[in-house]
Amino acid sequence: MHPALPISAALFRIGGAPKQGIPPNVKMYTLSSVPQACTGLKLWGPNLECSSWTASFNRKPDRFVETAHAGSAIPRRNLADRIADHLVVEIVNGTISIGQRLREVELCRTLGVSRVPLREALRILQAQGIVASIPNRGTYVADFKSAETADLLEIRISIERTAFGRLLRLANEEPEILEVLELHLDDLRRAKRLEDRFIFAQADLAFHERVVELSGSPMLTAVWRSLARGVLFFMIHEPYSSLDFNEEIREHERLLELLGQGDPKALRLEISKHILGNTVNRDPGALGVR
């Protein structure tokens, strides 16, 4: 059984602003059982705005619901994108297996959606290398090849180096940036206590998404989000297979420390080492990254 965690009001937030309790304009995923220990963790997944949700403990949603009603301050996410997010979560938590065929009729019935948004979601995942469509055979969950992994890591390193570089310039004028990221670091510490690598990976991804968001570049954020599903997929199946929670937290603490010190050269190198994780012996040069 997972230990109960203290819940901080600051963990419920929209656009970085602390909220007391769950915002009334957010509809949560309807689950038959949500572990109390997970409530309040800021996780990356189908419910990006305010997460007391995790698929790690619950295999099927009772129904596929909207994440925000009309007039909400939170933009309504495209249904196909939310279906794509949900499928990735199902893959990384083992509900859907690598190599498994994705049958449209079954998925439509399970998720309560029509074929149009489902097919759009599958096209999104195919473009990101997460599923593969085989003529006359159907759509299957793919597996990352070494070349695809290298591409993903190089692109992610480039994006996050740029984002952290922007934050270096902004942090002096906006010290609250470090405070926001420290809240996400608190989320990681809480996730560690669960000793669940899937939850920890989601909290990790949420930390890095916020870094890119705070850089102030909508284009950079859009590009990062286009990679996020693949990053989560990779994180679960590669470096997180032998995850050291304490070391991961120390690496995030080091990133914030270097950001606060304003050391661009050391920060660039630390970003590369952190993102590479346990791959290629943690050597940025193995991917041509310096």
| Domains of the chain, residue spans | 9-141, 146-287
Tell whether the torsion through CA atoms of 225, 222, 247 and 278 is positive or negative.
positive
pLDDT in the model for residue 118: 94
Q: Are 278 and 239 in contact (CB under 8 A)?
A: yes
| pLDDT given for residue 201 in this prediction | 85
Q: Which spans in 238-277 are helix H? A: 245-261, 264-276
Report the run of H or E that residue 152 belongs to, with start and end. Answer: helix 146-171
The predicted structure's pLDDT at residue 214:
94
- pLDDT for residue 64: 43
Q: Structure tokens of 170?
A: 């902004």
Q: In the prediction, which pLDDT does 6 show? A: 26
pLDDT at 65: 40
From 1.10.10.10, 3.40.50.2300, 1.20.1280.50, 3.40.640.10, which CATH number describes the 9-141 domain?
1.10.10.10
CA 190 to chain centre: 16
Residues of the chain short of pLDDT 70, as ranges, are 1-77, 146, 237-242, 278-290
Output the 3-class SS for 183-194: HHHHHHHHHHHH
Residue 185: per-residue pLDDT: 93
CA 52 to CA 50: how far, in whole Å?
Answer: 7
In sequence order, which residues have a C-beta less than 8 Å from that of residue 93 and are 6 or more positions away? 55, 56, 59, 198
Answer yes or no: CATH 1.10.3470.10 is held by domain 146-287: no
- pLDDT score of 77: 55
Beta strands in the chain (DSSP E): 13-14, 17-18, 131-134, 138-141
pLDDT value for 102: 96
- Whether 9-141 and 146-287 share one fold: the answer is no
What per-residue confidence (pLDDT) applies to 45?
Answer: 56
pLDDT at 52: 31
